[in-house]
């Protein structure tokens, strides 16, 4: 199972690496200026992804620990139900469990908010890069340094590049999932 996952991900990774190489060559052959504008956004996206990855990893660990504490409380209460009932403490134990579940809920909300800001920030960065390409590409077309057909081709290549980068990102996630399963 894990070997199938790894071999499939390596296949997708190699295929997309070849595609990225070809697309980058074509993009630079069409306009090296627009290519540089395109690649200006990558360091920002990588920085945001790195910060988010570290924060998300820490937050995920906190969620798992809080969930384990809540489960432990429930397990202890259920296993000692006779003692809990003898002291008529069912309500208090239920409150303790509820408080721990509320802590898990708060951490899950923080996790969801972090993901929302990550997607928003990455999407905004990509949008700024695309608008910059359209603006500067329009300037190049108006000044006669580039044809409108080449600008359209460049934009299509940029979309293909984005798809390839997304596939490489999913391959990385898949490999990390495989490492976690092993």
Residues in the chain: 182
- DSSP-based three-state secondary structure for 119: helix
| Statement: residue 100 has pLDDT above 50 | yes
What pLDDT does 134 receive?
94
State the DSSP code for 1: -
Q: Which helix (H) or strand (E) holds 30?
A: helix 2-30
Cβ atoms 177, 8 nearer than 8 A? no
Query: Average pLDDT in the 114-139 region?
Result: 89
pLDDT band at 150 (very low <50, low <70, confident <90, very high): very high
Please tell me the pTM assigned to this model: 0.69
Longest dimension (CA), the chain: 89
Structure-model confidence comparison of residues 12 and 171, the more confident one: 12
- DSSP-based three-state secondary structure for 147: coil
Query: Average pLDDT in the 47-72 region?
Result: 85
Chain-centroid distance of CA 132 in Å reads 24
Average pLDDT, the chain: 85
Distance CA(116)–CA(121), nearest Å, equals 8
Structure-model confidence comparison of residues 176 and 181, the more confident one: 176
Question: What's the pLDDT tens digit per position in 11-34?
Answer: 888 898 899 999 999 999 999 999
Residue with tokens 């070997």: 3
């Amino acid at each position: 199972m894990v070997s199938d996952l790894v071999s499939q991900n390596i296949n997708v990774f190699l295929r997309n690496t070849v595609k990225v190489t070809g697309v980058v060559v074509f993009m630079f052959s069409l306009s090296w200026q627009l290519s540089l504008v395109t690649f200006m956004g990558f360091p920002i996206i990588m920085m945001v992804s790195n910060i988010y990855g570290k924060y998300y990893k820490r937050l995920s660990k906190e969620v798992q620990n809080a969930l384990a504490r809540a489960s432990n409380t429930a397990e202890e209460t259920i296993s000692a139900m006779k003692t809990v009932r003898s002291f008529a403490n069912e309500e208090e134990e239920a409150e303790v469990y509820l408080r721990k579940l509320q802590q898990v809920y708060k951490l899950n909300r923080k996790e969801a908010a972090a993901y929302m800001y990550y997607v928003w920030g990455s999407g905004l960065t990509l949008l700024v890069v695309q608008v910059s390409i359209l603006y500067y590409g329009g300037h190049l077309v108006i000044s006669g340094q580039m044809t409108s057909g080449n600008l359209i081709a460049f934009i299509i290549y940029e979309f293909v590049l984005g798809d390839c980068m997304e596939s490489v990102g999913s391959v990385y996630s898949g490999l990390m999932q495989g490492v976690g399963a092993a």
